[in-house]
Structure 1
Amino acid sequence: VLMSAFALGWAVRSQHDARERRMEQVKSDERVQLARELHDTVAHHVSAIAIQAQAGRALAATSPSSPLEALEVIEVEASRTLAEMRAMVRVLRNEAPVDYAPQPGVADLERLSGASPAGPRVEVRVSGDLAALPAAIDAAVFRIAQEAVTNALRHARNATLIDVRVAGDQSTVSLVVRDDGDPGPADPAHEAGFGLTGMVERALLLGGACRAGPCPGRGWAVSATLPRQVSA
């Protein structure tokens, strides 16, 4: 009887510990997801605001209309930032599920072409079969492209073009974001930080891969390959 009671107590305690570990893992996963979304969305918009403010100030003397155009972009980006921050606050207050808003995807990539009217030109090219992608893959393509464009706008020296290419076939989706900035040694600011970490994590979680590095000759590239189907 004593042994049976001991075994029962041990089993109950083990189940309790396992349940606690699962709950902590869920909380940790949600924190990572929210941190990634915070970086991907808010950092992108704030970067655009900073770039437009710098451009407006630089062009004010020679082009009186440029500051007004920059202010219009700043207003749009600030409004988007506020909306997305409010959505995240609702999640943290348990007023909304973790999947708190429709996620942008491949169909929204053209939005990136207007990321910096006063900076490098951003060209988006989409080809192949990209219909009916799983939601997680669709969102990951956009977020990785968005972060790569943001990094290029921040760090590419004297760049005139940021080229975004997405292609799909029956088994994979590939993404390459390349700028034509000045050649030089690997830039720690370009290479490190939560931005690249988040891109790599997104790809790995979906069974894909993501890498970044200097291009031959000049420029910097981020490339990612994602499976078309997500493993259960």
Structure 2
Amino acid sequence: MTSPVRALWDAPAATPPPPRRVWRDWVLVALLPPLVVLEAALRPDVPWRWVWAVVLVVLVPTLLWRRIRPLTMLAAAFAVGTVVGLATGGDPQLFTTAYFLILVYAVMRWGSGRAMLAGTALLLAGILLPVAFERPALGDVIGGLAVVVTTGTLGVAFRWRARARARELEGVRLLEREQLARDLHDTVAHHVSAIAIQAQAGTAVAPTDPAAAAEVLRVIEGEASRTLDEMRSMVGVLRRTDAAERAPTPGIADLRRLARPEAGGPAVELRVDGDVDELPSVVAAAVFRIAQEAVTNARRHARNAARIDVLVRVGADGVRLEVRDDGEAAASAAPGYGITGMVERAALLGGRCEAGPAPGADGWVVTVELPRAGWST
């Protein structure tokens, strides 16, 4: 077996895994039987039309299992169709038979490598075997082969696109974790450096000034407590060891940079309520970066927006960030990598991030809540 064929043979089922069933499946299964019966009633010229109508109706439920058992469902439909075709002496001529192409698509979209190869063998047998016995028109053979190849190609294309998107999303998550870990490094390094300096000073004054040494110990205790709190808020974050240059960790004060006017862009109005100085550095950095991404998205995508409001409120329960623009209302939008990054960053701090059309108003709103329980203990 050649290397490409072996690689395909050993390929696992599609990732991410498919949904078991969705509402569209039930709609499809409900609509197909009446359509089959209606076509059989309206086409009296089709031989054995009612036999084929019964067969097609009986095989409709295979669509419900096409994602989890794609090859089994295709083989079942192929076997039943072949047996009935031999018994009636011909192929089905009802147009509704085309729903079998959904099973072909499912094998290429969701099946394992073995299922894809076996499904291809079944389809080729179904197309080429009649050539040896019935000598159909060459145009019919080429047309049937083209339809099957096109359907299978679509399945493979969507399969690889979904896998590529899953990999890109995982890359976004890894980059966010690395950035959060870099923030942790910067913050902890600052506190540990302060502890080291204070410890050296305490060692120097301890023999001559015990009171000063005691004050140094209190400072060290405070620095150590803050360091421990911020480390606990970042537990579970992994980073790749490298020697990349590290920029200073941004904070709430850096939000003012977002309000700088841009030529031709909407104005940014910033409001900060509460004691922001009590926020740990990693939380302040998360608030800044989420706000930065939200403002960037609004400037880039909000149609006819004249104003972007950024509100940061620090309370007893935690910190809340809201970024709202007044652009034209959007019915829906697919989650992009920027939104994925914001959601991931908030989740790593025990919070949540929601983005969508503003309820009852024009524009888009991003809401972030980071509870104290998620970033301090």
Q: What TM-score comes out, normalization by structure 2 length?
A: 0.36
1:170 is paired with a residue of what secondary structure? coil
Gapped regions of structure 2 (runs ≥ 5): 1-171, 182-238
Task: Count residues in correspondence.
Answer: 147
Q: CA deviation at 1:128?
A: 1.3
Q: CA deviation at 1:227?
A: 2.1
Residue 218 (structure 1) aligns with: 362
Q: Using the alignment, how far apart are the partners of 1:31 and 1:147 within structure 2?
A: 15
Q: Using the alignment, how far apart are the partners of 1:126 and 1:139 within structure 2?
A: 15
Structure 1 contact 210–225 (Cα < 8 Å) conserved: yes
Residue 350 (structure 2) pairs with residue 207 (structure 1)? yes
Match for residue 103 of structure 1 among 249, 274, 287: 249
Structure 2 contact 176–345 (Cα < 8 Å) conserved: no
Residue 148 (structure 1) aligns with: 294
Match for residue 158 of structure 1 among 298, 304, 317: 304
Match for residue 180 of structure 1 among 313, 326, 344: 326
Which of the two has greater helix per residue? Answer: 2
Q: Using the alignment, how far apart are the partners of 1:36 and 1:137 within structure 2?
A: 10
Q: Using the alignment, how far apart are the partners of 1:31 and 1:120 within structure 2?
A: 29
Q: Using the alignment, how far apart are the partners of 1:180 and 1:93 within structure 2?
A: 42
Summarize the Cα distance change of 1:183–1:226 in structure 2 as closer, same or farther, 3 Å threshold.
same
Q: CA deviation at 1:129?
A: 1.9
Question: Which structure is richer in relative contact order (CA contacts within 8 A, separation 6 or more)?
Answer: 1
2:277 is paired with a residue of what secondary structure? coil
Q: Using the alignment, how far apart are the partners of 2:173 and 2:333 within structure 1?
A: 30
Q: CA deviation at 1:118?
A: 2.4
Structure 2 contact 355–364 (Cα < 8 Å) conserved: yes
Q: Using the alignment, how far apart are the partners of 1:154 and 1:195 within structure 2?
A: 12
Which of the two has greater strand per residue? Answer: 1
Summarize the Cα distance change of 1:29–1:178 in structure 2 as closer, same or farther, 3 Å threshold.
closer
Give deviations 1:105-141, integer Å, cap 9, x for gaps.
1111010011624210011111112122111111000
Q: CA deviation at 1:196?
A: 0.4
Q: Using the alignment, how far apart are the partners of 1:36 and 1:185 within structure 2?
A: 33
Q: CA deviation at 1:171?
A: 2.6
2:278 is paired with a residue of what secondary structure? coil
Q: CA deviation at 1:95?
A: 2.3
Residue 342 (structure 2) pairs with residue 194 (structure 1)? no
Higher-Rg structure is 2
Aligned-partner residue type, residue 101 of structure 1: A
Residue 279 (structure 2) pairs with residue 136 (structure 1)? no
Q: Using the alignment, how far apart are the partners of 2:362 and 2:251 within structure 1?
A: 29
Q: Using the alignment, how far apart are the partners of 2:365 and 2:173 within structure 1?
A: 29
Gapped regions of structure 1 (runs ≥ 5): 1-27, 38-90
Summarize the Cα distance change of 1:130–1:143 in structure 2 as closer, same or farther, 3 Å threshold.
same
Q: Using the alignment, how far apart are the partners of 2:314 and 2:353 within structure 1?
A: 16
